[in-house]
Structure 1
Amino acid sequence: MRIPAPIAYIVLYVALYAAFGAASPFWPKFFETRALTSQQIGLILAAAMLTRLVSGPLVAMLADRFRSLRLVLGGSAAVAAAAAVALLWADTVWSLFLVAFVQAAALAPTTSISDALSVNTARPRFAGRPFEYGWIRGAASAAFVLGTLIAGQLIRPADLTAVIWMNAAFLIAATGATALLPGQARSPSSPSFAVSEMKALISVTQFRIMIVASALIYGSHAVHDAFAVIRWSDADISPSTISFLWSEAVVAEVLVFMLAGPAILDRFGVRGAAVLAAAAGILRWSVAGMTTSVLLLSLMQPLHGLTFALLHLACMRMMGMLVTASIAATAQAIYAFGSGLLAAVLTFCSGGLYASYAGAAFFPMAALCVVALPFAWFGFANKRD
């Protein structure tokens, strides 16, 4: 007897995002324990980011082409788990680089394909049936935090092998969880049909504008993600307070995914949700640029629930309305590519901005959200609004 679809997806997402949480914050430190220099660590991390940008869309297109989303997802997670274990024997710069490259390539499509599968299954929810993507994604965010906390308790400064085993174990669990998911048709489409569907999707103005709006708002997090902790530390804010501020954002993300976000979408539609996310970004980054007051920052950090989680929910609902199931993984990969590429560029630029302007570097991020407002208004309009 197959378990209910929401439970199956929660198991998958919890395993997948726990794997991310257990490892991603600690990979730089792990590479340092392998006697890599800062420049070498930076090279590996940058190469992994570029690899994900290329691999994600390519693998997703293949999954759509052969109608094998579950098989490709399970295979990708399994390869990523094997690559994690291979790090135990990698002891040179180039062997570490190669293994990190393989894992990045394997991990890249997992989130896009997972979202494609869950949004395809959640399509009836858009017609009023009780299946909400936000419940699943909220559980994933909570699992990410839990994975990080568990890894933090298990690792030792000079020995981070626990990170490898946790990452591999959760990825193996995610591989197994793909067998629990609802089945799908396996007959492959012809290449010409897949290409024609992709051209039709790209020709949809709303889809293109949605990609631009989401990339601008997600990209506006660049300075915060790279330099917020440094800025707060320089302002003599204690590590425990910084941890509280960061936790506020994560808790807000989970609450919006699971509770507030679906209600906002039902009440105001995807256009209202996207506009609210852009407006929240303007307020959040403007305040972050003007002050390091703990009181004001504690009021702003929960806006992460709007600038990230609510926007993501709006994009997923738009995907359910605009994208056919046959190219869902490819569409998700394009969505991830747009935001990932701009985020990478802005993260690179944020170093120079922060070095030159310190806290004022947040103001260009607020300006990005201002630019995103009209895109949010016009790109997320739909018949339900």
Structure 2
Amino acid sequence: MFSVPAKFWLSLYFISFLFIWGVFLPFWGVWLEAQGISSTEIGSIFSLGLLLRFVSNLGLLPRVSTGSGSLRLLRILGFLTLIAFSCLFYLQGKMWLSIITLCVNFLMAPMMPLGDIIGTRLVKQIHLDYGRVRLWGSLSFIAGSTCVGWLIADYGDQAILWVIFCATVVMWLLSLLHLSPQLDDGQPVEQQPKHSLFSLCKRPDVLLFLIITGAIQGSHGAYYAFSSIYWSHEGISEVSIAWLWGIGVFAEVLLMRFNSKLFRRWSIKQMLLLGLVAAILRWLALALTTELYLIAVVQTFHAFTFAVTHLAAIRYIGLQKNAEMVRYQSLYSGVALGLIMALFTYLSGILFESLQGNVFLIMSIMLLPILWCIKIWQVK
């Protein structure tokens, strides 16, 4: 099998994975609706999928203690994801669509954290500039959402499945390549007791960290699951919806590119406060307007609501001891980005059919108590 420079491989991996995510996240709900699944059912599927992401992240990531183990798990998950998407060409009906969507959520959940884990190892091993490598993935997310928006306009909603399938084939083939230099496994991290993750959650500082980041990131649940459907109902074309998603991610790219200069002197609490206030304002604005140009302006807030919050979380995780980082990453991915987002998404699914765009107003209101959580949080 061919070997490629490790930095180049990681760039290719982020490009391929986030291209798929750039199609799946904005448009999978649109595809499911085109197959006859209602908004309430979509909300339930998405929230259950997020619960499975929680199970997957907390069940699989802590078991990875070496670089070679990370690559091996990534290849297995990539292959199984390809099989899952392939089944959608042959299996029809609400039951199968729901089961396969849930399987995809379970399989893909650890794949981004695994890329982060490999990237962290390469930072230490070859002094990789992680931020600049990660930028290519964000740009690929834009390319994925934009590309499928154009294809839907020409070929219909089935283009969503075909694009994801083809991109998954590419991602899996890339995962089979060998890295040069190979990942340095170093000393395996000693396996922790199974209850250790839950005992970690009992610490007030960790619990507040998960509540704060989980609430900010979880409030994106309505946006991820229903913004494309809502905007489509309001007469905004798929191409325009793709551009709206692209604007948000492009703003994220710019912020990540210059984050070291912008936030070098900011504390973690200050960054999270910025993300929280931006989220409150963003969801409030989306509830109040369907004017395309105003939405485009508000989409730039994604740089703060997602990127700044994520960077603050990664900085907090980076403060921990090396042996603890995987556990903190597992909790952040599983609880904040999985379990709590699942709760927000489930609530959005229940409310969307009756409230439509006002579901974003609910997200905004639910974030207000988090201001108090940030105030009392003591970073250790």
TM-score tier by shorter-chain length is 0.7 to 0.9
Whether the aligned pair in 2 keeps the contact of 1:23 and 1:167 (CA below 8 Å) is no
Q: Determine the C-alpha separation between the residues in 2 that align with 1:99 and 1:230.
A: 21
Cross-structure match for 1:257: 256
Whether the aligned pair in 1 keeps the contact of 2:47 and 2:343 (CA below 8 Å) is no
Q: Determine the C-alpha separation between the residues in 2 that align with 1:8 and 1:246.
A: 26
Residues 98-107 or 354-363, more deviating: 354-363
After superposition, the C-alpha distances for 1:105-148 in whole angstroms (9 at most, x for unaligned) are 32221122222332354469xxxx96443323332221122123
Residues 350-359 or 336-345, more deviating: 350-359
Q: Determine the C-alpha separation between the residues in 2 that align with 1:20 and 1:250.
A: 12
Shift of 1:315: 0.8
Any residues of structure 2 matched to 1:10-89 within 5 Å, and which? 10-27=11-28, 38=38, 42=42, 47-64=48-65, 68-89=69-90
Residues 91-100 or 217-226, more deviating: 91-100
Whether the aligned pair in 1 keeps the contact of 2:39 and 2:352 (CA below 8 Å) is no
State the TM-score, normalized to the length of structure 1.
Answer: 0.78
Cross-structure match for 2:131: 134
Residues 314-323 or 233-242, more deviating: 233-242
Cross-structure match for 2:340: 342
Cross-structure match for 1:287: 285
Any residues of structure 2 matched to 1:161-172 within 5 Å, and which? 162-163=162-163, 165-172=165-172
**Aligned AA (1:105):** F
Identity of aligned residues (%): 23
Alpha carbons of structure 1 residues 102 and 282: separation in structure 2 relative to 1, 3 Å: closer
Q: Determine the C-alpha separation between the residues in 1 that align with 2:41 and 2:90.
A: 17
Residues 108-117 or 310-319, more deviating: 108-117
Shift of 1:300: 2.5
**Aligned AA (2:276):** A
Q: State whether structure 2 residue 330 is matched by structure 1 residue 333.
A: yes
Shift of 1:273: 1.5
* Number of corresponding residues: 374
Shift of 1:6: 4.1
Q: Determine the C-alpha separation between the residues in 1 that align with 2:70 and 2:273.
A: 32
Partner SS, residue 169 of structure 1: helix
Alpha carbons of structure 1 residues 305 and 179: separation in structure 2 relative to 1, 3 Å: same
Cross-structure match for 1:267: 265
Q: Determine the C-alpha separation between the residues in 1 that align with 2:158 and 2:231.
A: 29
**Aligned AA (2:168):** A
Alpha carbons of structure 1 residues 323 and 218: separation in structure 2 relative to 1, 3 Å: farther
Residues 10-19 or 357-366, more deviating: 357-366
**Aligned AA (1:206):** D
Q: Determine the C-alpha separation between the residues in 2 that align with 1:353 and 1:308.
A: 23
Q: Determine the C-alpha separation between the residues in 1 that align with 2:134 and 2:293.
A: 29
Cross-structure match for 2:105: 104
Q: Determine the C-alpha separation between the residues in 2 that align with 1:203 and 1:159.
A: 46
**What is the root-mean-square deviation of aligned Cα atoms in Å?**
4.0
Unpaired runs of 5+ in structure 1?
none
**Aligned AA (1:373):** L
**Aligned AA (2:330):** A
Cross-structure match for 1:312: 310
Answer 1 or 2: higher relative contact order, Cα 8 Å, separation at least 6.
Answer: 2
Shift of 1:217: 0.8
After superposition, the C-alpha distances for 1:43-101 in whole angstroms (9 at most, x for unaligned) are 76555443323222111122249982222122212221233334334356655555444
